[in-house]
Amino acid sequence: MIPRRLFSARSRAALEGMGRWTPWAPAVPGPGRLLPLHAAPRLLSVGCARRAKHQEPPGKKLLSEKKLKRHFVDHRRVLVRGGRGGDGASCFHSEPRKEFGGPDGGDGGDGGHVVLKVDQQVKSLSSVLSWYQGCDGEDGGRKNCFGRKGALLYVRVPVGTLVKEGSEVLADLSHPGDEYIAALGGAGGKGNRFFLANDNRAPVTCTPGQPGQERVLLLELKTVAHAGMVGFPNAGKSSLLRAISNARPAVASYPFTTLKPHVGVVHYEDHQQVAVADIPGIVRGAHRNRGLGLAFLRHIERCPFLLFVVDLSAPEPWVQLDDLKAELEKYEQGLAQRPHAVVANKVDLPPARARLPELRARLGQEPIALSAATGENLEELLQRLKELHDHHVAAELECGRRPLRW
């Protein structure tokens, strides 16, 4: 029932018009006559469809760096348990006019394994659960029917996952498609047909299925990239990665803007790709777990060559390079001695260009002076990056190892 105050004169006229029938006649204007100004009424569905067609789709809201860090997990403790084997059956063949059919109990199926498999689409361990149970095998049946084996349970992990049990390293999954059996499934039980012998023609013995293997594993992610950018906070590493690749890490004018590693891919004309990792800022005493500390120093271990990024606008930028090498050497011996290039960022600032000759004299080598903000001299960095990558590939092939392909 419609309230009286909402029932207007216009609504009443519309309702009266709905009940009146008029014969259809084509509205063809005669000569010298104009069409009426009001348009014919349109269907509601057509109007909604046209309105939806011109409506802008809602844009995806970009997550902040802190929210991105919540989704980035680089270590996980996982309990894995293989599937239980199926039980064997104890039964005898039953058929008309066969008094002694004999045992025909089948064996149970084996339990399924839990397998860790590398997937390039997975970027962190956030999707890995804390507990996995393999599929159980089916029990054996009559007429010597064996039980079905349990299906394999695959757990997708990112490239660069290290599998540990206690302090022992079990596997290093550093290439796409690598697999590791984390927990074995239990063996299926034997049916009474298995125990048939000359001295025992009617065995009734059958064995149950075995439980699956149970282990507590520690998964640790170490970012896999060709080059790792190392520098103090607010040195311009994220801006530099945005300038040379399509990666979009957060950029701001305060330290510790980057809270998780970012990997950007640099594309060259010969279809060659070089992955560059932006490691969060390192402070003095990082080897003693100060600042972000050991949580991100381990991401540098897998980088075959490094890019030391120093802030040329800061006083005495050569001291930054010495402190960075000292921190890396204290964390892991020989880490600072890897092939590297020195990048002097923020050369577009007036005081920075004046410190460049002194930095060149103290280092004894030619640093790559550039500006990530204006794009000045980025070509020299890209050329040097390709040279370091070519030397790494040649050294890996000479040693008989497979180089990393991104």
Q: Report the distance separating Cα 162 and Cα 5, nearest Å.
A: 73
Give residue 159's pLDDT: 87
Q: Which helix (H) or strand (E) holds 397?
A: helix 378-398
Give residue 23's pLDDT: 46
Q: How confident is the model at residue 8 (pLDDT cuts 50, 70, 90)?
A: very low
Give residue 31's pLDDT: 46
The neighbouring-strand residues paired with 201 are none
Q: Report the distance separating Cα 41 and Cα 338, nearest Å.
A: 76
pLDDT over 70 (residue 132): yes
Residues 6+ apart with CB under 8 A from 323: 232, 284
Structure tokens at 17: 């018009």
Structure tokens at 167: 């302090």
Report which residue type is found at 402: R
Question: Mean per-residue pLDDT for 281-300?
Answer: 61
Report the chain's mean pLDDT, rounded to a whole number: 79
Between the alpha carbon of residue 196 and those of residues 142, 199, 273, the distances in Å are 15, 8, 63
Q: How confident is the model at residue 285 (pLDDT cuts 50, 70, 90)?
A: low
Q: 3-state class of 402 per DSSP?
A: coil
Sign of torsion over alpha carbons 350, 352, 353, 358: positive
Please list the residue range(s) of the chain that carry CATH number 2.70.210.12: 73-221
Q: Which CATH code of 3.40.50.920, 3.40.50.300, 3.30.950.10, 3.40.50.2300 fits the domain covering 227-398?
A: 3.40.50.300
pLDDT over 90 (residue 153): yes
**Which of 292, 301, 360, 290 is closest to 328 using CA atoms?**
301
Residues 6+ apart with CB under 8 A from 375: 243
The label of the residue with tokens 């007429």 reads 143
pLDDT over 90 (residue 319): no
* 15-24, 114-123, 176-185: range with lowest mean pLDDT: 15-24
Name the residue with higher pLDDT: 170 or 70.
Answer: 170
pLDDT digits over 85-118, tens only?
999 999 998 888 777 788 999 999 999 999 999 9
**Which class for 297: exposed (0-12), middle (13-18), buried (19 or more C-beta within 10 A)?**
buried
Give residue 35's pLDDT: 41
Please list the residue range(s) of the chain that carry CATH number 3.40.50.300: 227-398
Protein fold of 73-221: Spo0b-associated Gtp-binding Protein; Chain: A, (2.70.210)
pLDDT digits over 251-271, tens only?
776 666 666 778 888 988 878
Report which residue type is found at 381: L
Query: What is the pTM for the complete model shown?
Result: 0.64
